[in-house]
């Protein structure tokens, strides 16, 4: 009986992560196939050779397309995590309560002497380890953003130079590519959509509801209620 329930319990306890992990892999596979076809169509239009799927997956073009989306997503969450420490939005469940702006007290955060028996060890030991743990989410998000953005710049430059060579133009350096319009076009077209989505979520959730979702206030909660989740 226990063995039968174990997989069900695992799926129940990890359903959100498993769902988004699965659709991420499906979307990435779809992007790879669609991008491969588009790339080869452009190659044929320019009287150039086609790439196999394996070659396309290791190409600078595919790497740049993937990295430019990853860096914008992690930047979005990095800014959101840090901004919501101090910035508030009256009526939004995405905001803290209006009197809780800032890092909050050790007692509120269950740090050091205020930690409980089941608190993570690094929340109880104090010192540099507690400080690092207190900022660990934003630090890791920032690291992933930085690595993804670096990968985008390197792969984007390689893909950009491939096009220039095909046109018998000289390649440009990495530092020159960082100031090139192609790099910033790839970057900003993703940033603007992420910022719009996050801002829309924070504001629309003031007035709109989704029954049962922790990202929404309870259906009957007042529009002015802040930091209340359903």
What was the pLDDT predicted at 34? 96
Q: How far apart are CA 208 and CA 221, in angstroms?
A: 11
CB 151 within 8 A of CB 74: no
- Read off the pLDDT of residues 168-209 as tens digits, 9 standing for 90 and up: 899 999 999 999 999 999 899 999 999 999 999 999 999 999
Mean pLDDT value of segment 102-124: 89
Residue 162: count other Cβ atoms within 10 Å of its Cβ: 14
What was the pLDDT predicted at 21? 95
Question: Does a structural domain hold residue 144?
Answer: yes
What was the pLDDT predicted at 2? 57
Domain count for the chain = 2
Domain range for 23 is 1-58
- Residues 3 and 72 grouped into a single domain: no
Question: Does a structural domain hold residue 14?
Answer: yes
- Residues 87 and 156 grouped into a single domain: yes
- Residues 74 and 143 grouped into a single domain: yes
Q: How confident is the model at residue 46 (pLDDT cuts 50, 70, 90)?
A: confident
CA 81-87-93 angle, to 5 degrees, is 75
pTM for the model: 0.86
Question: Does a structural domain hold residue 101?
Answer: no
Mean pLDDT value of segment 34-53: 90
Question: Does a structural domain hold residue 129?
Answer: no
């Amino acid at each position: 009986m226990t063995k039968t329930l174990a997989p069900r319990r695992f799926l129940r306890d990890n359903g959100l992560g498993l769902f988004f992990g699965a659709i991420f892999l499906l979307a990435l596979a779809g992007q790879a196939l669609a991008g491969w076809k588009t790339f080869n169509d452009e190659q044929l239009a320019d009287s150039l050779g086609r790439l196999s799927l394996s070659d396309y997956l290791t190409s600078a073009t595919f790497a740049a397309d993937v990295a430019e989306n990853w860096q914008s997503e992690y930047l979005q969450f990095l800014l959101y995590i840090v901004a919501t420490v101090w910035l508030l939005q009256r009526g939004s469940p995405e905001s803290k309560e209006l009197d809780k702006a800032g890092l909050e007290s050790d007692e509120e955060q269950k740090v050091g002497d205020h930690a409980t028996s089941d608190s993570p060890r690094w929340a109880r030991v104090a010192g540099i380890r507690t400080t690092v743990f207190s900022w660990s989410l934003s630090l890791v998000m920032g690291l992933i953003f930085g690595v993804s953005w670096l990968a985008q710049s390197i792969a984007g430059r390689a893909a950009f130079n491939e096009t220039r060579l095909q046109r018998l133009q000289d390649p440009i350096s990495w530092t020159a590519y960082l100031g090139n319009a192609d790099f910033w076009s790839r970057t900003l077209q993703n940033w603007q959509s992420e910022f719009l989505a996050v801002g829309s979520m924070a504001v629309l959730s003031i007035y709109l509801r989704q029954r049962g979702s922790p990202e929404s206030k309870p259906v009957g909660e007042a529009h002015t209620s802040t930091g209340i989740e359903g």
